[in-house]
Amino acid sequence: MSGQENVSSVYSGAGDTSDRQTIVVKLGTSVLTGGSKKIDRAHLVELVRQCAMLIRQGHRVIVVTSGAIAAGREHLNYPELATTIANKQMLAAVGQSRLIQEWESMFAIYGINIGQMLLTRADLDDRERYLNARDMLQALLANNIVPVVNENDAVATAEIKVGDNDNLSALVAILAEADKLLLLTDQPGLFTADPRSNPDAELIREVHTIDETLHKLAGGSVSGLGTGGMATKLQAADVARRAGIEVTIAAGSRPEVIQHLVDGKEAGTRFLPLESPLESRKRWILAGPPPAGNIIIDDGAAKAVVERHSSLLSKGITGVEGHFDRGSVARICNQKGKQLARGICRYSSKDLSAIAGRHSQDIQDILGYAHGAVAVHCDDLVVID
């Protein structure tokens, strides 16, 4: 039987597609190894079975898989290596091909094809490359192929890395315009403190706002397996929920965890999405390049941007930090340095500094050219609450 026939046999029984959801399932190294030094193949099969069940119900599933470095170590029989970037990349190169073979053979049990997507931050920073990646992802989904995504660790250097798969999965969820992002890990969710060192810590069940207090509860990874711990999961949840995506952190080892989370039965820590999700261009402002600098604005401009969702005019700018070109994404901050918004700048940092606090009629005289008094147009601006 060809792969295509296999796929249709799985999908022909698909349920009512009117309530089809696109679900990103992120599996941390901690889940894939079950806390050991090896990929736990028995558990991987079980997770694939759960994904296949969702697909049978008509949902679309994207897997974001960690574990390449762990798989590389295992395949090379745990070599004693210096902790250099080149050695890490080597482990990832060896491990990624092992890992993808595992995913492929396990999804094949259910007649489902997969497509490997290895991304770096550079694939998402540039709007054109971002749109290309989006088209590719949509093409896989439209053809009933499960995208299996990881960071391209073998080639990515620090400057072009997302750096952890929690943030990567949020970017992928935005790219796919997903409904849900499931961050599966070795803990039942986000606790009031790291439960490994604080046995009295309590599970937080539902989160409406992600603020500094919450960020302080989320620690790093101490197991030596994962990257980023709860801190990066919280960053990921923050980005995805702004794009209207519901995020849950839960234990990947719980029986039927994926199905239960989709049905709203499983506990975990659920982050409610913002009610009015952003349109595509604004999603990119969040998911795309890290801000290249800061634009400091006065209180009047802050009110206009945050409350009235107006464009940012040169008149309201009091300072510019960093060096960036026209078209870059920058943070828009108040006088205390608090980030209020992010947006695409119509002027470079140099020109913005020159026209800060000035009216539109002055701009031509100062710069010798003028694009108008709008420094960041409201269509290119995302308010961060």
Ligand X SMILES: Nc1ncnc2c1ncn2[C@@H]1O[C@H](COP(=O)(O)OP(=O)(O)O)[C@@H](O)[C@H]1O
Q: Applying CB under 6 A, which residues contact ligand X?
A: 28-31, 66, 185-187, 190-191, 193-196, 217-219, 221-223, 225-230
Token reading at 341: 């918004």
Q: Does 69 bind ligand VHF (CB under 6 A)?
A: yes
| Residue whose tokens read 């039942």 | 188
Token reading at 308: 């009235």
Token reading at 65: 């898989």
The residue among 226 and 288 lying less far from ligand VHF, judged by its C-beta, is 226
Q: Work out what residue 137 binds among ligand VHF, ligand X, none; the CB cut-off runs from 5 to 8 Å by kind.
A: none
Q: Is 203 exposed, middle or buried (0-12, 13-18, 19+ CB in 10 A)?
A: middle
In the list 7, 23, 24, 28, the residue contacting ligand VHF (rule: CB under 6 A) is 28
CB under 6 A: which stretch of 146-154, 172-180, 234-242, 305-313 binds ligand VHF? Answer: 146-154
Backbone angles phi, psi at 344, to 5 degrees: -90, 125
Q: Is 230 annotated as a binding residue?
A: yes
Q: Do 137 and 147 meet the contact criterion of CB atoms below 8 Å apart? A: yes
Q: Does 228 bind ligand VHF (CB under 6 A)?
A: yes
Collect all residues with Cβ–Cβ distance below 8 Å to 230 and sequence separation of at least 6: 187, 190, 194, 217, 218, 219, 220, 249
Q: Give CA–CA dist 28/183, Å, rounded.
A: 8
Total residues binding ligand VHF (CB under 6 A): 16
Collect all residues with Cβ–Cβ distance below 8 Å to 98 and sequence separation of at least 6: 39, 71, 72, 74, 75
Q: Does 235 bind ligand VHF (CB under 6 A)?
A: no
Q: Does 147 bind ligand VHF (CB under 6 A)?
A: no
Q: Work out what residue 150 binds among ligand X, ligand VHF, none; the CB cut-off runs from 5 to 8 Å by kind.
A: ligand VHF
The residue among 164 and 351 lying less far from ligand VHF, judged by its C-beta, is 164
In the list 7, 25, 29, 119, the residue contacting ligand VHF (rule: CB under 6 A) is 29
Q: Is 227 annotated as a binding residue?
A: yes
> Minimum distance from CB of 330 to ligand X (Å)?
30
Q: Give CA–CA dist 242/286, Å, rounded.
A: 8
> Minimum distance from CB of 162 to ligand VHF (Å)?
9
Q: Give CA–CA dist 53/14, Å, rounded.
A: 10
CB under 6 A: which stretch of 54-62, 65-73, 206-214, 324-332 binds ligand VHF? Answer: 65-73
> 280-291 b/e with 16+ CB inside 10 Å = b?
eebbbbbbbbeb
Q: Please state whether beta strands 22-27 and 60-65 pair in parallel, antiparallel, or not at all (unpaired).
A: parallel
In the list 227, 310, 348, 360, the residue contacting ligand VHF (rule: CB under 6 A) is 227
Q: Does 68 bind ligand VHF (CB under 6 A)?
A: yes
> Minimum distance from CB of 242 to ligand X (Å)?
21
> Minimum distance from CB of 51 to ligand X (Å)?
17
Q: Is 37 annotated as a binding residue?
A: no
Total Cβ atoms within 10 A of residue 197? 9
**Amino acid, res. 41:** R
Q: Work out what residue 187 binds among ligand VHF, ligand X, none; the CB cut-off runs from 5 to 8 Å by kind.
A: ligand X
Minimal CB distance residue for ligand X:
28
The residue among 87 and 360 lying less far from ligand VHF, judged by its C-beta, is 87
Q: Give CA–CA dist 21/61, Å, rounded.
A: 8
Of 80-139, binders to ligand VHF (CB under 6 A) are 92
Long-range contacts of 273-278 (CB under 8 A, 24+ apart): 273/240, 273/241, 273/243, 273/244, 273/245, 273/246, 273/247, 274/241, 274/242, 274/244, 276/244, 277/242, 277/243, 277/244, 277/245, 278/242, 278/243, 278/244, 278/382
Q: Is 82 annotated as a binding residue?
A: no
In the list 111, 147, 189, 226, the residue contacting ligand VHF (rule: CB under 6 A) is 226
Q: Is 106 annotated as a binding residue?
A: no
CB under 6 A: which stretch of 78-86, 150-158, 208-216, 262-270 binds ligand VHF? Answer: 150-158
Which residue ranges make up the site for ligand VHF (CB under 6 A)?
28-30, 66-69, 92, 150-151, 153, 164-165, 226-228
Annotated binding site, which residues?
Answer: 26, 66, 153, 165, 185-186, 227-233
Annotated binding site for substrate, which residues?
Answer: 66, 153, 165
Annotated binding site for ATP, which residues?
Answer: 26, 185-186, 227-233
